[in-house]
Structure 1
Amino acid sequence: MNNYILYIVLFLVGLIGTYAIIPLFKNLLINSNVVRPNYKKDMIPVSMGIVFLPMIIINSIILIYFTKDPRNLLYVFVFIFGMISMFFAGILDDIIGNRDVSGLKGHFKSLFKGNLTTGGFKAVFGGFIGILISLSISKSIPNIIINTLIIALSTNLMNLLDLRPGRAIKVYLVIIISIFVTLTGYIKVLPLLILPNVLAYFNFDLKAKAMMGDTGSNVLGISIGILMVFGYSFNIRIIWLVFLILIHLLTEKYSLTKIIENNKILNFIDKLGR
């Protein structure tokens, strides 16, 4: 199949399929009492990131069917593995997580005191997932360290942003579309396993009809991290890693929401569409 036709098929299947199943999963979460107050204290479904998963798998089936080079299957399966792994870590945090501890520093301090939080589990688990993925594409120690940090911190980046309706997805769309445009070779198709799904769900998040929760933000974050280590040079990965470290250090000390609210341009973009 022609690459552009395949891209269109994956995009439409992901977009239409995800849009169709959103009401089903929203009702499932409400009926199961998987709801939580949002920043306005309205009770809405959480873990709606679950809607990303079905079409990731269905589109992967389509992609694998048309993948002729067996070596490219590694990229597909590693990408799927990473997203599904962090999906389950996220849904665990959404359902049984304790909100008394926040931030990577807080979760690790709690862990060192012998108290495991779901956030601490997610951070450690995400780190090991990062190591596993890094080892699958490189045996160079510097690359393993850099790639592991990129995957782990990219995953947490979306968690840092997912504090207001639509905020994380707005940033995600800017990043993932930039990645799609600049990637080359076979891996250029991989963003289409998740991008149309997110677009279909975007308005529900933006209008505060549901929260994707860590279930969704983890999937978005790790998809960025994996694509960064798959498709970019050492120098670009270093630049991205420096950005990730700086944003994490910043948010450990200052409120990202207050920073955005105090900047007219950022605040306008943040509230756009709500």
Structure 2
Amino acid sequence: MVFWFLLFIIPLLVSILTKNFLMKIIDKPVCLKENYKKNMIPVCGGIIFAPALFVSVIIFNILGYNIRYQSIILPALTMISFVGFIDDVLGDRNVRGLKGHITMLFRSKPTTGSLKALSGFLIAFFISFNLARNNIMELAFDTLIIALFTNFLNLMDLRPGRCCKAFIAISLFFLGIAKGKLAFLVMLLIILIAYFPDDLQAKVMMGDTGSNVLGMSLGIASVVIFGFYGKVITLILLILIHLLTEKYSLTALIEKNRLLNYIDMLGRKGEK
């Protein structure tokens, strides 16, 4: 009972302090980019996620608690956040989509997006390998699921609050079937609470710095809780989503669906 109380209160307090500290640092011209309304706002607001998680885990360790998978999750999420930060600040917006960045990589014209894709795959492999899976097929499945989940949340970060809402919905579903295995996901969910209002009000964009962390954490959660058939279904869904978004605008698809559009607009004051 004490552990679960701390699991809520510690990440919340740490994330509030981290946000107040880091938001002042990123409010500089190099971190300002145009959002979808052409307003200049900080593009890497998700920079608070990895440090807040890191500090929270340290506090738990000091108190005598070990967070399951922490030796794998902390370096992986920190690294993918760093790669996302590079893409947010130095990224070339002329190349679009996962396919476009991979194509440029094979043409020996690497972009920050191709760096992110390659790094995401390598980090996903690192995670999968260290989770001590039983065979090569499972290792391959886990790597692909984590890598694609990472990019999926990145695809969602195109409107205020959208990525946050997607993470909240999926993480709550995972936590409902996880049977206490995903303390790290609870911590990230609480950390997101401190950040969510600013994103929803378009004061800051999460950027790849944050969406990479959220996406990779969902990928890790899915490979931890699902068996073989669950992973097959998850991988198929992720592949279909990526194929769909390569051909169609995700925002346009959401706007055409009444329920999805309602959820997408929820809390976004002053917008139609």
TM-score, with normalisation over the residues of structure 2?
Answer: 0.93
Instruction: Work out which of the residue numbers 11, 25, 34 in structure 1 matches 2:8.
Output: 11
Where do 5+ consecutive residues of structure 2 fail to align? none
Task: Name the structure 2 match of 1:150.
Answer: 145
* Matching residue's letter, 2:53: I
Instruction: Work out which of the residue numbers 170, 173, 176 in structure 1 matches 2:171.
Output: 176
Q: Distance in 2 between matches of 1:84 and 1:201?
A: 18
Q: CA deviation at 1:206?
A: 0.4
After superposition, what is the alpha-carbon deviation per residue over 1:91-149, rounded to whole angstroms, capped at 9, x for unaligned? 01011110000111101111111100011011011111111111112151110110000
Where do 5+ consecutive residues of structure 1 fail to align? none
Q: Is the 8 A contact 2:141 2:235 kept in 1?
A: yes
Task: Name the structure 2 match of 1:59.
Answer: 56
Q: Distance in 2 between matches of 1:39 and 1:161?
A: 13
> Is 1:165–2:160 an aligned residue pair?
yes
Q: Distance in 1 between matches of 2:23 and 2:84?
A: 17
Task: Name the structure 2 match of 1:109.
Answer: 103
> Is 1:90–2:84 an aligned residue pair?
yes
Q: CA deviation at 1:161?
A: 0.5
Cα pair distance change 1:248/1:116, threshold 3 Å: same
Q: Is the 8 A contact 1:152 1:222 kept in 2?
A: yes
> Is 1:212–2:206 an aligned residue pair?
yes
Instruction: Work out which of the residue numbers 16, 26, 31 in structure 1 matches 2:28.
Output: 31
Task: Name the structure 2 match of 1:242.
Answer: 236
Q: Distance in 1 between matches of 2:176 and 2:4?
A: 13
Q: CA deviation at 1:32?
A: 5.4
RMSD: 1.5
Bigger shift: residues 7-16 or 210-219: 7-16
Aligned residues: 266
* Matching residue's letter, 2:105: L
Task: Name the structure 2 match of 1:223.
Answer: 217
* Matching residue's letter, 1:106: G
Task: Name the structure 2 match of 1:48.
Answer: 45
After superposition, what is the alpha-carbon deviation per residue over 1:43-88, rounded to whole angstroms, capped at 9, x for unaligned? 11111111112220122113334347xxx76x11111122111101
TM-score, with normalisation over the residues of structure 1?
Answer: 0.92
> Percent identity among equivalent residues?
42
Q: Is the 8 A contact 2:14 2:55 kept in 1?
A: no
Q: Distance in 2 between matches of 1:33 and 1:108?
A: 26
User: Which residues in structure 2 correspond to 1:127-138 (within 5 Å)?
Assistant: 127-137=121-131, 138=133
